[in-house]
A and B are shown apart, each in its own frame.
Chain A
Amino acid sequence: MHDDHVILCRCEDVTLGDVRRMLAAGYVTVEDLKRQLRIGMGPCQGTTCGLLLQREVASFLKKSPEDVPIAKARPFVVGVTLKAIAEAADEE
């Protein structure tokens, strides 16, 4: 299948082709790729694409995946409405 038809990040619609072009242009860290392509920035926060991206960067750099740092984990694990948080805070 063509690289541009393989979706890595389904939240932000980023394809394998997008990632490979950015890698070739010199953006070779997960943090750089995330910032330039929005990969992993959507509602699932990289749950689906994180490991795929790490593997892709590893194979480009000819490293093993565990030697490629992934994006920093931050809240939230799942999306929460701001209203629910505000209400919970009011009850405290």
Chain B
Amino acid sequence: MKSEIVIVGAGISGTAIAYNLAIRGMKDIVVVDQGYLTAGSTGRCGAGVRQQWQTMANCTMAKKSIEFFEHAAETLHYDEDIEFKQEGYLILACTAAEVEQFQKNVALQNSLGIPSKVVSKEEALKIVPHLNPDAFISATYCRTDGHLNPFKMTDAYYQAGKKLGVTYLFGERVERIDVEQGRIQRVVTDKRTIETARVVDAAGGYAKEVGELAGVRIPVYAERHEILVTEPIEKMQGPMVMSFSQNLYCQQVPHGAFIMGRTTPNEPHGHDLSSSWQFLDAMAKTVCKFLPKVGELHAIRQWAGSYCMSPDRQPILGPTDQLEGFYLACGFSGHGFMFAPMTGVLLAEMILGLPTTLPVEDLLIDRFKKQTTTVYEKSVV
């Protein structure tokens, strides 16, 4: 088999990149995934989309991506519902330091055209009445943030790509990437050999290992993150409720279920995706403190996925001088779903040598060569 490009990974990133290359005219695009559509983090994520970030690169990636989500079904000619719910994110300030930092964040966000604002405790309680008033000081709110169905959003990119001729190979593991004289020759899976000069590493939690197959070193690691879902009930919460310092996100999806997660401290690096009682205990306590009414619901499933962590918690996108023809789309550090529309656009533009829609300097792997990197995204759970 021959191809112009092999994309490793059929998550939201790989499917978005494939579509964006195909719509710009590239032929013979092959996407390989060892599992099924959304087998990686994409099918395990909270699928929240927000623009309330602390670095310029993250803010603009998120803002442009939300503009895409607003018209995604029409743009991709997708018949099913992608369930885009745009009822905002309410981010709680629980310490004096957060109150101060959030003012700066909102100033940056507003300067980039993101309609976030600082809200008092009273205003926050109007937006989410069942919040425990004693658990936070104030909050920030951005009404255009929201949530999508990750399976359907990925399926939309997948189907649009297929209509443009993208080939998908599922249940096939990339085991070798052969490089001779500094050039990629072929990708070898457990089922076939694909002649190609270009590879995109969109392997999520396994991005580092896929890089190693081609001798490319990527400064990322995988970390387990756990999450759970409750039984569905009538609508009672519009926005995602989040706290960085208290380590919580909790959202009611249109289907009626609540989805919630938090980071388990000192999680070892690696690919363990089992479910732990430590997470469950801490999650239950945290949600009962902040959203006592939600604590009355039955949890019905607990699962886990990978965050692909980069040194500055911002994505690593584009080419690398370590190997010609090798492109990265990884290091999303737990927020790659919401950035995917721009990941797809920027990767396609860089691969095809087109001018990029956004400045990419802060996203290239080369940024880690400079010792002076001071930008560091801290608004993460």
Interfacial residues, chain A to chain B (CB-CB below 8 A): 27, 29, 31-32, 35-36, 38, 41-43, 45, 74-76, 79-83, 85-86, 88-90
Contacts and interface: CB of A to CB of B under 8 A. Distances in A.
Nearest to B291: A82
A46 B71 CA distance: 34
Given A36-B151, A75-B275, A83 B36 contact: no
Contacts, number: 79
B155 interface: yes
Nearest to A79: B298
Nearest to B151: A35
Given A32-B36, A38-B255, A85 B299 contact: yes
Interface residues of B, number: 33
Residue with the highest number of chain A CB atoms closer than 10 Å, among B37, B38, B303: B37
Given A31-B35, A75-B275, A86 B284 contact: yes
Contacts of B37: 27, 32, 35
B295 A82 contact: yes
Contact of A31 (B36, B231, B255): B36
B239 to A, nearest CB: 19
B135 interface: no
B288 A79 contact: no
A29 B283 CA distance: 31
Nearest to A37: B151
Contacts of B169: none
Interface string B289-333: 000101111111111000000000000000000000000000000
- The 6 residue pairs across chains A and B that have the minimum distance between CB atoms: A79-B298, A85-B284, A89-B281, A86-B284, A35-B151, A83-B295
A38 B81 CA distance: 13
Contacts of A89: 281-282, 284-285
